[in-house]
């Protein structure tokens, strides 16, 4: 008889949502945001999934309080300068 392995726990939807909002605010991937939360949770000794969700939401509030929008910053860095707008390189 074949033994079945237990399924991995389903991801916490609320935690993933909080990390997704944090990722959007910081202009990073969701996995990077989750990693930031996990690192901070480890530093603060937080292990409970609900407490980690609260930590992610607190980190989002901190990012919003700082007023820096990395998404807008990246967009502005990718835009061409007026003096270089019509510049073309030759092949």
The predicted-structure confidence for 41-91, as pLDDT tens digits, reads as follows 999 999 999 999 999 999 999 988 887 666 676 777 777 677 766 766 665
CA distance 69 to 20: 15
**Which residue pairs, CB below 8 angstroms and at least 24 apart, start in 10-13?**
12/49, 12/52, 12/53
- Confidence (pTM): 0.65
Place of tokens 């997704």: 20
């Amino acid at each position: 008889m074949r033994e079945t392995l237990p399924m991995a726990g389903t991801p916490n939807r609320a935690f993933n949502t909080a990390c997704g909002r944090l990722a959007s605010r910081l202009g990073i991937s969701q996995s990077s945001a989750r990693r930031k939360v996990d690192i901070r949770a480890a530093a603060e000794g937080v292990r409970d999934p609900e407490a980690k969700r609260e930590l992610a939401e607190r980190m989002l509030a901190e990012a919003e309080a700082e007023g820096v929008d990395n998404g807008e910053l990246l967009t502005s860095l990718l835009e061409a300068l007026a003096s270089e707008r019509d510049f073309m390189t030759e092949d």
